[in-house]
């Protein structure tokens, strides 16, 4: 089974400060990891993904995430937060196999509300 945990319901940060939104995962095979963002009354939007390769992944809007296999983590980061980054952030995982049966079944975390204040 695959699962993902986002330990913080809410993260508050001042504009201009660095931000981190935490995510840990559990899979039996290789993890495929993702971050999505949801703005009010909208669907989720893809930010970035890790499949293989460099542990530091860069994505949209200046966000990046670091894959840490030993800690089974995939934390989302941004060097300097903006008020416009305030939104709900979801981490997601898919078991990349082997023996997963294929398919594209993502498991999402419960979400972390990011609030960036002036």
Q: Let me know how long the chain is.
A: 118
If binding is defined by CB under 8 A, does position 98 make contact with other proteins? no
If binding is defined by CB under 8 A, does position 10 make contact with other proteins? no
If binding is defined by CB under 8 A, does position 106 make contact with other proteins? yes
Question: 24 to 63, contacts with other proteins by CB under 8 A?
Answer: 32, 34, 36, 41-46, 49, 51
Q: Which one of 5, 8, 26, 108 is in contact with other proteins (CB under 8 A)?
A: 108
Q: Which one of 24, 74, 111, 114 is in contact with other proteins (CB under 8 A)?
A: 111
Q: Which residues of 35-74 are buried (b: 16+ CB within 10 A; e: fewer)?
A: bbbeeeeeebeebbbbeeeeeebebeeebbbbbeeeebbb
If binding is defined by CB under 8 A, does position 110 make contact with other proteins? yes
Residues contacting residue 10 through CB under 8 Å, at least 6 positions apart: 112, 113, 114, 115
**Closer to other proteins by Cβ: residue 31 or 85:** 31
Q: How far is the CB of 2 from other proteins (least distance, A)?
A: 11
CA dist 61 and 101 (Å) reads 34
Note the residues at the interface with other proteins (CB under 8 A): 32, 34, 36, 41-46, 49, 51, 90, 94, 102-111
């Amino acid at each position: 089974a695959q699962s993902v945990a986002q330990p913080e319901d809410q993260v508050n940060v001042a504009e201009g400060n660095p931000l981190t939104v935490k995510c840990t995962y559990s899979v039996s095979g290789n993890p495929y990891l993702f971050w999505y963002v949801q703005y009010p009354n909208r669907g989720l939007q893809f930010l970035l993904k890790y499949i293989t390769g460099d542990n530091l992944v860069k994505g949209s809007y200046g966000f990046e995430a670091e894959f840490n296999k030993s800690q089974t983590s995939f934390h989302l980061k941004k060097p300097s937060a903006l008020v416009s980054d305030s939104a709900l952030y979801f981490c997601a995982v898919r078991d990349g196999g082997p023996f997963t049966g294929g398919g594209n079944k993502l498991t999402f975390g419960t979400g972390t509300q990011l609030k960036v204040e002036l």
